[in-house]
Amino acid sequence: MLTGASVLPLLRRTEVMPSAVSCRICSRKFPFQSGKRVCSKECRNELHERLKSMDDQQMNMLPLLSASPELARRFVGKPEDAELAYLIKTDAPPTAVSFRLGCFRDGPRPAKHPRMRWFPYLIFRNPPVYSLVEWQPVHVPFAGNYAVAYFDDKCALVGPPKFFIEVRKPNAMFNWSDGDTSLLIRPLR
Ligand SMILES: [Zn+2]
């Protein structure tokens, strides 16, 4: 017979912590440890790659920003990247002074965990950004749609990318695989 006082200890006894849990990657069982989701360093790396790839694929669904026909007409006879420069500058947040362009690899070879690469990258330009203030032709590995990421004067990202933009003239000087897998830049000191 249970009295009110004895109910609590009884309940406590049934609240057992799980002693073994399944690895999210390989399903192997491992001893429960708060916050631990995978069994090994290898599975941790695999989970990391999967999550990064999912983030990039999410970003790949951002809308494509393009000029209306009326706006596009204003750039007829102007330099080839005038429209691109206008769109990138016009949509920049107030604190942005530079930008990077990112995309997935072009072509049929599927990667296990597809990632975006960002341009410019450090060896090509330091800091690895294109200036909004003094516009120069951008270099990307191929013509196509690129996510636009804006940075402030400390090279800190100004919010997450919001749109893609079509680069018609890539001025290619490097390969896609040269690009940076990390969108963020080590801030300037
Ligand atoms: Zn595992």
Distance CA 140, CA 65 (A): 18
Distance from the alpha carbon of residue 20 to the mean position of ligand 1, in angstroms? 13
Q: Which residues contact 66 (CB under 8 A, 6 or more apart)?
A: 87, 165, 166
Distance from the alpha carbon of residue 177 to the mean position of ligand 1, in angstroms? 29
The full length of the chain comes to: 189
* 109, pLDDT greater than 80: no
Range of the domain at 167: 64-178
Q: What is the mean pLDDT of residues 3-18?
A: 56
Each residue of 53-82: pLDDT tens digit? 999 999 999 999 999 999 999 999 999 899
Distance from the alpha carbon of residue 181 to the mean position of ligand 1, in angstroms? 25
Distance from the alpha carbon of residue 16 to the mean position of ligand 1, in angstroms? 23
Distance from the alpha carbon of residue 24 to the mean position of ligand 1, in angstroms? 7
Q: How far is CA 92 from CA 67, 125, 158, 160, 163, in A?
A: 15, 21, 9, 12, 11
Question: How high is the pLDDT of residue 183?
Answer: 94
pLDDT more than 70, % of the chain: 89
Distance from the alpha carbon of residue 42 to the mean position of ligand 1, in angstroms? 7
Distance from the alpha carbon of residue 40 to the mean position of ligand 1, in angstroms? 6
22 forms bridges with which residues in the sheet? 29
Distance from the alpha carbon of residue 56 to the mean position of ligand 1, in angstroms? 23
Residue 189 within any structural domain of the chain: no
Q: How confident is the model at residue 188 (pLDDT cuts 50, 70, 90)?
A: low
Residue 94 within any structural domain of the chain: yes
Each residue of 22-47: pLDDT tens digit? 999 999 999 998 889 999 999 999 99
Residue 7 within any structural domain of the chain: no
Distance from the alpha carbon of residue 30 to the mean position of ligand 1, in angstroms? 8
Question: How high is the pLDDT of residue 13?
Answer: 56
* 185, pLDDT greater than 80: yes
* 2, pLDDT greater than 50: no
Tokens 């930008």: give the residue.
99
Distance from the alpha carbon of residue 48 to the mean position of ligand 1, in angstroms? 12
Nearest Cα residue to 91 out of 39, 158, 137, 46: 158
Domain count, the chain: 1
Distance from the alpha carbon of residue 90 to the mean position of ligand 1, in angstroms? 47
Q: Note whether 174 and 139 are within 8 A (CB).
A: yes
Distance from the alpha carbon of residue 14 to the mean position of ligand 1, in angstroms? 28
Instruction: Name the pairing type of β-strands 64-65 and 164-167.
Output: parallel
Residue 80 within any structural domain of the chain: yes
What counts of helices (H) and strands (E) characterise the chain? 4, 8
Each residue of 139-181: pLDDT tens digit? 999 999 999 999 999 999 999 999 999 999 999 999 999 999 9
Distance CA 83, CA 73 (A): 10
Q: How many CB atoms lie within 10 A of CB 75?
A: 17
Distance CA 18, CA 62 (A): 41
Q: How confident is the model at residue 110 (pLDDT cuts 50, 70, 90)?
A: confident
